[in-house]
Chains A and B, each alone.
Chain A
């Protein structure tokens, strides 16, 4: 034997102990306590509050009577449904051709198109809405002015302050969801399936219609549903566009119930249909996406060759650039113009250029710079908490460390069905009153953000954990390391990138979050999104544009970091949504 006798102290073999009950139960209790606090309690309080009389707290149905007692309140509900349907349909028109062209054809500029979809995706919808007010405001909007210049007409045809205007703006900034779903599905359709149709005599268009699109259909429908839900849950764009256009949707109506005095009981009652529709549609979406018979979407894709479009490739490219112009080029050109202008309406004149807007928001305004810092600090803490919490839960569930671990996983993804506005009302109902009295504190914002983004964290964390072979950890244990050693020395180093990715996927949207923040901020806890919203109410578009651009520019290094660590498309994968 070439190795000397054992020089290490033999590890004493512990006597057999009952391992059925051990400290893992404590961990389970701790995690479930946190999840109860973050997820269950706001939800429960939302429901309870909707049945409570103001001040006395007695059981009552009067909140529901108030919430649905007026025709215009009920109209707002239907407006939301119509808006959701219109936006989703428009978003489908933008997204599906682009997704097909990028995933399956030889259209030129596929990488560019992906990049522009990403640029759309990271543009907060309210920033897009502001840009479109600059573009298509009646009379003063740039598109109207160009039209009048070109035709000599008295008035332009575009009016952003309309139902159609709102639907278009929402669609322009939610179509990336459908794009992500559809490309993911199309990339799994193998060329062999298309070849089989070709060899039986079907031409490329017929093949697309009869084979490729049906295979991607569940994904497209899933994306449409997500867009619909996004549209009905959105607060910023409707508040900026629908209110001046003199119509209400659910979220703007909820905001009015939250005005002075705050009628949280009525708001809670009024939020129920929004919650119900969301839960229902998420269930439908799950059913559609998981439907059997679409084997291609689960199995290996096989070989994929791009479909040659011939002359049509330039037509497709033209369409892609048209969509990009609406979502990215035009909005950003005029946002930049506005941000550097003394008065945006004066146009591209040299003597109209100034840095005063940036100076003002960064150094002179009392709270604007602070609001940006708040956004980043709250988002940073929320992302960190959410990543580690969901990682812990995902690990426990994947390794079956405790019985009923699935319950924890379910609680982590449950907030997906709670719109931001509704979540905020739940948080308000649960934690604004004494004893916690968290209203207006940084803590309530952080807690709400954490809860909102738990599902993104959990989906990513469990994908990461499931990609690790458990034998890696077993190898540590069999060599004498504890489970903690395995986590520290093997699991954590191997998941570094995934964790960074999940963190960014939470952090970036959390810096723009408006729907929940608008209901929960206090004088000292204003975030950038709320600031932008306030400025839009003041009609201060130059300074607003400057602030919106600062927020966008600050995101770029993070995006770069994410792409370096995780690949170019890290935000455009299905895990991102």
Chain B
């Protein structure tokens, strides 16, 4: 049985629809991210799951029981969920130990039991030695760990995270991504994670829900989302890509500067105007014409940038007008102005709407 089910959930503010027709099912123990640009409705969705706001339409169920609908909601304190907030919301008037023990105290556990569990979870997040400190004495990363410990120690039915890493600096953010996934693997708590950062979502999640303007664009596992984006928005939002527009006619699709057999391309049988996404990593560069089944297109290096981990080239097919972005290994060096051959596997070209 699904743990958490959202059925056609919508949230309206007057004429403005912040979330529309949102449906999602989470399996027990699953980690799902809501990913999208700011204002896409992801936080609104999370707050409806938490019970802080009622949906305007649709319903939310947990373990088969309805907990939210337009006619009423179970208040957040009776949902047995927990949440990590963007601001961490660590209570500055309580020590680390008191913060973490708060939820257990509400659940009326004995003093000794609370102490035992608090110590245990603080060990897990490596904060045991700071149990008696006040939050003002902690760094951002440490506060984040307290927030994690406080949310996990109550063994919630569902864990909600609202952009928890957005206030951390880049290095710490990367470290905490793995920390969050590690804690999830350890405790197997059903988790909904809201973020606008695609790499955060990709590292942590089993599945990602990409949202735009209040609507779901695509729900898939990270690698599927990257490899098989279904819409122009998803292709552009998840990673970098080239959008190439083609015209299908008589079994052939003509692109800007090259063409391919319609039969080798996804969804090209109908002909007409077609849009494809082609990842920069999916294009090969070499000094010689390839002789495999892939397309080989003669081109010129227009511009290049070196980013340490890879080269970012702008390469214009001869006879084409717009250059394509191509990423190569740092060892593959081509001078600006030189002639090269592009190698494009038609199967790497993903049809998008």
Chain A residues with a Cβ under 8 A of chain B? 1-3, 6-14, 16-20, 469, 471-472, 474-482, 485, 489-490, 493-494
Contacts and interface: CB of A to CB of B under 8 A. Distances in A.
A480 B77 contact: yes
B65 A13 contact: yes
B228 interface: no
B124 A2 contact: yes
A346 to B, nearest CB: 58
Contact of B106 (A14, A20, A474, A481): A481
A478 B93 contact: no
A2 B87 contact: no
Contact of B76 (A7, A12, A478): A478
Interface stretch (B9-17, B150-158, B208-216, B259-267): B150-158
Interface string B98-140: 0000111011110001000100110010000000000000000
B67 A13 contact: yes
Interface string B134-168: 00000000000000001101110000100000000
B109 A8 contact: yes
A9 B102 CA distance: 16
Of listed B72, B73, B120, residue having the most chain A CB within 10 A = B72
A485 B105 CA distance: 12
Interface of B: 50, 52, 54, 62, 65-69, 71-83, 85-87, 89, 91-93, 102-104, 106-109, 113, 117, 120-121, 124, 150-151, 153-155, 160, 186-188
Nearest to B147: A475
A487 B155 CA distance: 24
Given A471-B89, A474-B83, 18 more contacts: A2-B124, A3-B120, A3-B155, A11-B78, A13-B65, A19-B73, A469-B89, A471-B86, A474-B85, A474-B89, A475-B83, A477-B52, A477-B75, A478-B50, A479-B82, A480-B78, A480-B80, A481-B106
Contacts of B79: 13, 478
A18 B236 CA distance: 43
B52 A479 contact: no
A475 B78 CA distance: 13
A181 B241 CA distance: 56
Nearest to A10: B80
Nearest to B123: A2
A480 B71 contact: no
A6 to B, nearest CB: 5
A482 B76 CA distance: 9
Given A1-B187, A474-B85, A479 B154 contact: yes
28 contacts: A1-B188, A2-B124, A3-B117, A3-B120, A3-B121, A9-B107, A9-B108, A13-B65, A13-B78, A16-B69, A16-B72, A19-B72, A19-B73, A471-B85, A471-B86, A474-B52, A474-B76, A475-B83, A475-B89, A476-B102, A477-B76, A477-B77, A478-B76, A478-B79, A479-B106, A479-B151, A480-B78, A494-B93
A490 B62 CA distance: 29
B187 A14 contact: no
A8 B107 contact: yes
Contacts of A490: 91, 93
A478 B68 CA distance: 15
Contacts of A2: 120, 124, 186
A570 to B, nearest CB: 20
